[in-house]
A and B are shown apart, each in its own frame.
Chain A
Amino acid sequence: MDVSDVPQEPKDFKEGEKLKKLVYAVGKDGKYTGVTSAGWDAENFAMKQAWDDIEENLAATLAKVKNGTVSPIAYYMQKNLMELSLLAKYAGKWQWQVTRHMKPEVFAKLDRAMLDVYAGIFNITVEEMINFGKERSNNG
C-alpha cells in the first residue's frame, strides 16, 4: 500500500474517531514509513456490524427484562459484553447458578452479598440493578 492510498475514513461511532492508529505504507522513495489513519471503510463496517449485533441483542434482552421473563443480570451481562462463562468466572459461581440468577423469581430472593458481587462486576449500584427495567426507570 502506498502512503497516498492510506484510507482516512473516520470511525464515527463509539468514540472511534478519537484514535488515529498507525499503519505501515510505502512512500514515494520506496521506503516503508508509519502513517496515521483515521480508519478504513471495510474495517469500520466490520466493527460497526459487531456493535450493532450487540445492541440488537441488548434491546431484545431489555424487552425480556421489562416483561419479566429474565432478571436484570441477563441485561447487564450483555451490556458488559460478557458471555455466561465469563460472568460465572467473575461471580465465582457455576454457570448453572448464574443461569438461575437470571430468573426473576430467583433474582428477587438473592441476598445482599450476592447482589453486591454482581453490582461490583457491572460497575453499578445494587439499587440501579434491582430497579432496572421497572416502569419508572427503564433507560439503561
Chain B
Amino acid sequence: MDKEFKHYQHAHCESGVTANMLRHEGIDISEPMAFGIGSGIFFGHLPFLKVGGIPGTTYRLWPGAIFKKVANRLDIKVHTEKFSSPANAMKALDTALAEGRPTGILGSVFYLPYLPEAFRFHFNAHNFIAYGKQGSKYLISDPIMEGLSDITPEDLVKARFAKGTPEPRGFMYYITGTPKQINLAAGIEKGIKQTCNFMLNTPLPWFGNSAIFLLANRIKDYPHKLPPRKAALYLGNVIRMQEEIGTGGAGFRYLYAAFLQEAGIHLRRDDLQEFSAQLTKIGDGWRNFAYNAARIMKVRNTGVVSYDELSALLRVCGEEEKIFFTNLGKLKW
C-alpha cells in the first residue's frame, strides 16, 4: 500500500509521469520507451489558433494521448476522471491518495508556484503526480523538476480548474491494474506504425510532416507581412515550443531517437538503431534551425535573405523527416 514513491526527472511532463507511474507499479520502463510506445512525436502548425496573438506550433501529439496509448498498448488498466466541482475533485484526489495511489493530475503551469516564474504561462496541459499529503499540503512529483515539490490545496485547485484552452476540469488518472507480463515488443510496433501514419497520412495541412513545409512558407513571408518585432516574436514562439522545457532537445527528436535506440537494443534489431542515428542527425538540423532563428531575432533582422535561409533550413528538416518516416513505416515486423 504505502510503497515509497520514487521520483525520476524526465524531459517531458506526460511521458515522464507515465514512466514514473509505471515504475511505481514495478514496471521498468524508461521515458523514451513510454514516449515512443505512446506515439508522442509529431508536428503541427496552426496559424489560425493564436495564443497571445501568436500562431501555435507543436512538436508532439495532443495532451493526454501518450498516457492513454501506453496504457492501451501495454494492457494497463487505468482510472480517469473529470469533475464539475472543485470540491469533488479534491475529495476524489484525497481518497485516491489515502488508498496509496500516486495520481496523475492535469493542470495549468501558471498556478504551480514551485516552478520558476520564467516558465509559468497559462499552459493548461501540464502533467504531474500527487503522491501523498503532509498536513494540508500535497506532495508533488513533477517530472520536469530535479527533485520533489509540494503545493497548497488552494493553488492546486486553481491549477486543476484553470480556464482557457483546454480546460483540465480537475482531470486525474491512476493505475488500477497491471498485466503479469509486459509486452514491450507489441507496444513498440504499434507506437512506431501509428507515428509514421500520423506524420505522413494526415490529410490536413496543419498537421504532420506537411505542416513543416507550411511553417517554412510562412517564415519566408514574415519579413513581407509582419513588423520586425512581431516577426521576432513569431519566430521566438517556434523556438520556445521546440526547445523550452519538456522536449528533451530538438522538439522531441532526440527523445524519439533515444526510444528507437532502446527499442533496437530490446528487440535486437540493428535497423532500429540505424534509424535512431538518422534521427539524431535530423535533430541536429532542428537545433541548427533554432540557433539561426535566434541569431535573426537578436538583431531583429528582417532582411529577406536571412528569413529565406531560415525557411530553407526548415524545409531540409521537413524533407529529411519525410524520407525518414517513409522508410521507418516500411519496417517489417
Question: Which of chain A's residues has its CB closest to B295's CB?
Answer: A42
Binds B, one of A79-87, A102-110, A129-137: A79-87
Chain B positions within 8 Å of A22 at CB level: 9-11, 144, 248
Given contacts A24-B11, A46-B294, contact A32 B32 (CB under 8 A): yes
CB of B167, distance to nearest CB on chain A (Å): 9
Contact A43 B243 (CB under 8 A): yes
Q: Which of B145, B244, B246, B255 contacts A46 (CB 8 A)?
A: B244
Q: Which residues of B from 8 to 24 have beta carbons under 8 Å from A?
A: 9-11
Our count of residue pairs bridging A and B at CB distance below 8 angstroms stands at 125
Q: Which of B119, B145, B280 contacts A26 (CB 8 A)?
A: B280
Contact A1 B250 (CB under 8 A): yes
Q: How far is the CA of A17 from the CA of B145 in the complex (A)?
A: 12
Binds A, one of B170-178, B180-188, B233-241, B320-328: B233-241
Given contacts A1-B254, A81-B122, contact A23 B294 (CB under 8 A): no
Chain B positions within 8 Å of A83 at CB level: 52
Q: Is A31 an interface residue (CB 8 A)?
A: yes
CB of A103, distance to nearest CB on chain B (Å): 23
Q: Is B245 an interface residue (CB 8 A)?
A: yes
Chain A positions within 8 Å of B163 at CB level: 86, 89-90
Q: Which of A23, A26, A41, A82 contacts B11 (CB 8 A)?
A: A23
Residue interface bits A44-56, CB-to-B below 8 A is 1, else 0: 0111011101000
Q: Is A28 an interface residue (CB 8 A)?
A: no
Interface of A is mostly: mixed
Q: Is A68 an interface residue (CB 8 A)?
A: no
Q: Is B5 an interface residue (CB 8 A)?
A: no
CB of A83, distance to nearest CB on chain B (Å): 7
Contact B9 A18 (CB under 8 A): no
Q: Is B298 an interface residue (CB 8 A)?
A: yes
Binds B, one of A7-15, A59-67, A93-101: A7-15
Contact B290 A43 (CB under 8 A): yes
Q: Which of B52, B164, B280, B298 contacts A45 (CB 8 A)?
A: B298
Q: Is B228 an interface residue (CB 8 A)?
A: no
CB of A67, distance to nearest CB on chain B (Å): 24
Q: How far is the CA of A40 from the CA of B286 in the complex (A)?
A: 14
Contact B145 A50 (CB under 8 A): no
Chain A positions within 8 Å of B262 at CB level: 32
Q: Is B117 an interface residue (CB 8 A)?
A: yes
Interface centre among A17, A26, A32 (most CB of B within 10 A): A32
Q: How far is the CA of A82 from the CA of B257 in the complex (A)?
A: 37
Question: Which of chain B's residues has its CB closest to A83's CB?
Answer: B52
Q: How far is the CA of A122 from the CA of B295 in the complex (A)?
A: 36
Contact A47 B293 (CB under 8 A): no
Which residues of A are in contact with B by a Cβ distance under 8 Å?
Answer: 1, 11, 13-26, 31-32, 34, 36, 40-43, 45-47, 49-51, 53, 80-83, 86, 89-90
Top 9 nearest A-B pairs (CB, nearest first) are A32-B258, A15-B116, A14-B118, A42-B294, A16-B118, A43-B243, A46-B236, A46-B239, A23-B249
Which residues of B are in contact with A by a Cβ distance under 8 Å?
Answer: 9-11, 31-32, 52, 110, 115-119, 121-122, 144-146, 163-164, 229, 232-233, 235-237, 239-240, 242-246, 248-250, 254-255, 257-258, 261-262, 276, 280, 283-284, 287, 290-291, 293-294, 297-298
